[in-house]
Structure 1
Amino acid sequence: MAVRTISIFHYNDLHSKFHTWPQLVSFLNERRDEASLVFDLGDHADRTHPATEVTRGQVNVRLLNRLQPTAVTIGNNEGITFPHEWLDTLYEDATFPVLLANVYDEDGSRPDWVTETLVVERAGLKVGLFGVTAPYEELYPELGWQIESPLEATARALDQLSDCDVLIALSHLGFYADERLADAFPQLDVILGAHTHHVLDDGVLKNGVLIAQAGKYGQYVGEVTLTVEAGRVFDKRATLHELSERQPDETTAEVLQTEYEAAERLLDVTIAHTPGYASDWFGPSPIADLLADGLADWCAADASIVPSGVLLDRLAPGAVTLNMLHRICPHPINPCLLTLDGDTLIRFLDDVHETSFTTMHVRGLGFRGTVLGQPTLHNVASNQGDWLLGGEYIDPQQTYRIATVDMFTFGPLLPYLADQPKRYFMPELLRDVLRETIKRRDTIRKG
């Protein structure tokens, strides 16, 4: 039988960093042909970008429609930072399939915008495709979705694709989860990965499965070449193409400029007037005080703890617009209400005041700032090294309701908070709390 070759292009985790998009489009327009496969592996959309925010992700879909990928899957930014109704309508006008085998509606049905598995033909071969995304088990239900184990979803998808010549997983699980997927399913030929932003120059072969991932932000496009003979893939090669020196596609650049201008107009809406609030990451910060006060009210908490670094700038006196709030607080971070005993609360307060913590440069976890900064406290104070809440010394045996930011509870920063009882407030983000607090203060001041 003839030897056949399949070319696959992939990228991941654009995070609405649209400045690289014209170069990515230029590369793919030149290199792809009708026999190629092109995949977006999720987190294309990120509400940090004002155009994504104000269009509810529709700008991202419009860009993808122009690119015409073979298929896409979703990442956690689409899955758990978009309100249910945003995600449920995000792909209404999409002209490409969204492959996703492990997310369901609240009633257990598969959403209309989801394709569980897909078979395409390339070089006379049947190529079986499916997608899986990271299973944030505490967060998806808060938004009205059910999330399934990627391993269970993969097993079912592979059963449906058992007669295919080539099997490819579109994964937004992260590299280490992809390794586990490869160990569990050696019949896979390729896992196209995302989420952990790994730059895998030549891919990684794990249990006979090629794992490929292309960094983040459109800095690279990955290319996988499969060579097939007698219905069996006998050679797999991966490489990355760096795009920084690439000439941009001019039409795409013009489209983006038009989208930016439209987004600016839509966000230029005055929501309140303020006397102004200064910002300081390592000293008194009136704007952080405002957010801490508002967060405690929002969560009906006894107290709140907010890293001042989530507020990137001051609010000048005068009109406050949606665009200003988005610029000052761009993070896809949700409020979180923790239920802590006094001992754990004291440890929490001690830890977030450590210099090594306040000066920490954080990447990921929804944080889009620089450093965490000094914690801003509502209804908590220190007296000669002891902590007071509401004017009373914290009782190690008593239980307290503490409002804070979700990123503190995910594990990497403060591991002991990950297992504490908690409630995430979703879909609202910190800037929503800030907006409503500012509006309330404005109303009171006018009254």
Structure 2
Amino acid sequence: MGPRLVHYSDVENAYDDPDRIGRLAGTLQSLDGPDALLVGTGDNTAPGVLSLVTNGRQALDLFSAVDPAFETFGNHDFDHGLDATRDVVEASPQTWLTANVRNGDGRFLADETAQWAVREVAGTRIGFVGVTAPETGAASPAAEPLTFTDPFDAVADAEAALRNAGAEYVVVLSHLGRADDDLARRSDVDVILGGHVHQRRIERVDGTLLARPGSNGHTVVTVALDGTEPTAEFKTVDDAAPDERVAGAIEDRLAETGLDEVVATVEEPISRERMDTYGGESRIGNVVADAYRWAMDTDVGLQNGGGVREDETPLSGDVTVADLVSVVPFEEPVVVAEVTGAELRTLCRQASGQVVPYGEPDWWNAHLSGLEVVWDRESRTVERLHVGGEPVDPEATYTVATTDYLLHTPVEFPVLTGTHRVDVGALQYEVLAEYARAEGIDPSVTGRVVRR
């Protein structure tokens, strides 16, 4: 039997569920052994409820219990600022690998990280390199001081060095998302363990094995390196015996925050699957957009699809503040933007993945309140646009309540900029909690977004 790799990624909101994070820890421990290495591929410290209040240090409860070998950075691992990232790296037991993240003239945290590494497991020398999506600097404000260099060049250099060091297999720990396919075609590495995209995957591209375990701690991937072509399979955490120390530590953290306050009761469970975030109008998207418009008293409420965190577990029963933080787990305030009717029409065009190349072409990236839009997919045009039941006047001014993130990222809704900001409110999850206390949570789909 050859060596095995055990791969986790995008743990994110799992820290807000003591049972699930306990089972994830138990699963990783059960799969570990002298012939195995545990490895992570980013977004394993943030986002999430506890991540907001601990600056990502809640991840140390998991890391210290399972003792991974390697980790690489995801975009959300910079959410709380570079000092917070440094604190987690310094306190965690694993080696952080980063070949394309630079700070000034050198590699980020050069004394605490490595570009690549070789480990011998079960008599086999395995080389590892870590890379992060180059758009992270534009999409994550806290990461703006960093430079993210070309990951393909970084992997090519590392692969040559690892082969020269005697590596029989070269494994990339990647937080590149869909660029993993290009990386497989442009390199001769053996395995790419991916993150960033939350859909589970095991495929082979140009002879390279690509795997992703999905998000929120529901599944891990095991990879066998037995002298033939690498193979992989999924392992769910549902049936694992939980690590009670990890579960207990997370329970204690939640209790200390006061985030277990019940603010509403949901009678009909509200789904949070991928198509609820990117498939057009959804009940969970309407909750968020309605809360923003209610809190800021605006014409329109807007939430980007990626800002509503998907989860296999629906929102149901007694809903706590922690549950609502898990929906939008970011330290971003809700703001008011003033836009013209013409800009509002452009904003709706930019919600389509056909227009702005964010995600997949069939994605719809806007959850809306106070606005009704009919989108024609064939012509890629806004066929009908009403605010408050009236047609939008291109010369008129409208107010939009949204997350401040959308005013400073060029990746989504580029029509919005900081010059549109006229007011700043509370943090996103605080707005949701106040809305839930005052109005309850009972959303329905009403035809706000129609795609033909």
Taking structure 1 as the reference length, the TM-score comes to 0.66
Distance between the aligned counterparts of 2:345 and 2:206, measured in 1? 46
Taking a change above 3 Å as real, the CA distance of residues 108 and 420 of structure 1, as seen in their structure-2 partners, is farther
Match among 384, 393, 416 for residue 387 of structure 1 = 393
Q: Secondary structure at the match of 2:90?
A: coil
Kindly tell me the number of residue pairs found equivalent between the two proteins: 364
Q: Which residue of 2 aligns with 1:38?
A: 38
Distance between the aligned counterparts of 1:424 and 1:100, measured in 2? 35
Distance between the aligned counterparts of 1:246 and 1:325, measured in 2? 24
Contact 2:43 2:74 in 1 (8 A): yes
Matched, 1:68 2:67: yes
Deviation at 1:348, TM superposition (A): 3.0
Question: 5 Å matches for 1:262-277?
Answer: 262-264=256-258
Matched, 1:184 2:183: no
Deviations 1:5-49 (A, max 9, x none): 111111111113133222222223233212211112211123332
Taking a change above 3 Å as real, the CA distance of residues 409 and 109 of structure 1, as seen in their structure-2 partners, is same
Q: Which amino acid aligns with 2:247?
A: A
Structure whose residues are more often strand by fraction: 2
Deviations 1:108-165 (A, max 9, x none): 4432443211111112332111111222242357632111121122122223312222
Q: Secondary structure at the match of 1:16?
A: helix
Taking a change above 3 Å as real, the CA distance of residues 197 and 383 of structure 1, as seen in their structure-2 partners, is closer
Taking a change above 3 Å as real, the CA distance of residues 121 and 173 of structure 1, as seen in their structure-2 partners, is same
Contact 1:331 1:430 in 2 (8 A): no
Deviation at 1:346, TM superposition (A): 3.7
Deviation at 1:170, TM superposition (A): 0.5
Distance between the aligned counterparts of 1:150 and 1:122, measured in 2? 26
Question: 5 Å matches for 1:323-338?
Answer: 327=325, 330-332=328-330, 334=332
| Identical-pair percentage | 22
Q: Which amino acid aligns with 1:344?
A: E
Taking a change above 3 Å as real, the CA distance of residues 401 and 138 of structure 1, as seen in their structure-2 partners, is farther
Contact 1:140 1:146 in 2 (8 A): no
Distance between the aligned counterparts of 1:108 and 1:403, measured in 2? 40
Q: Which residue of 2 aligns with 1:83?
A: 81
Q: Which amino acid aligns with 2:175?
A: H
Q: Which amino acid aligns with 1:130?
A: V
Q: Which residue of 2 aligns with 1:261?
A: 255
Distance between the aligned counterparts of 2:45 and 2:133, measured in 1? 16
Deviation at 1:283, TM superposition (A): 12
Taking structure 2 as the reference length, the TM-score comes to 0.66
Question: 5 Å matches for 1:298-447?
Answer: 306-307=302-303, 327=325, 330-332=328-330, 334=332, 343-348=342-347, 372-375=367-370, 384-387=390-393, 393=396, 404-405=402-403, 418-420=413-415, 422=417, 431-432=426-427
Higher mean displacement: 121-130 or 65-74: 121-130
Q: Which residue of 1 aligns with 2:47?
A: 47
Q: Which residue of 1 aligns with 2:448?
A: none
Distance between the aligned counterparts of 1:89 and 1:216, measured in 2? 24
Deviation at 1:258, TM superposition (A): 2.4
Taking a change above 3 Å as real, the CA distance of residues 346 and 140 of structure 1, as seen in their structure-2 partners, is closer
Taking a change above 3 Å as real, the CA distance of residues 285 and 178 of structure 1, as seen in their structure-2 partners, is closer
Quote the RMSD (CA, aligned, Å): 4.6
Q: Which residue of 1 aligns with 2:242?
A: 248
Contact 2:332 2:428 in 1 (8 A): no
Contact 2:347 2:413 in 1 (8 A): no
The structure having more radius of gyration, on CA atoms, is: 1
Q: Which amino acid aligns with 2:116?
A: T
Distance between the aligned counterparts of 1:154 and 1:82, measured in 2? 27
Match among 171, 175, 187 for residue 172 of structure 1 = 175
Q: Where do 5+ consecutive residues of structure 2 fail to align?
A: 262-284, 310-320, 353-362, 372-385, 434-452
Matched, 1:7 2:13: no
Q: Where do 5+ consecutive residues of structure 1 fail to align?
A: 229-233, 269-279, 294-302, 313-322, 355-364, 395-399, 439-447
Q: Which amino acid aligns with 1:393?
A: A
Distance between the aligned counterparts of 1:216 and 1:130, measured in 2? 21
Distance between the aligned counterparts of 2:288 and 2:233, measured in 1? 47
Contact 1:8 1:225 in 2 (8 A): yes
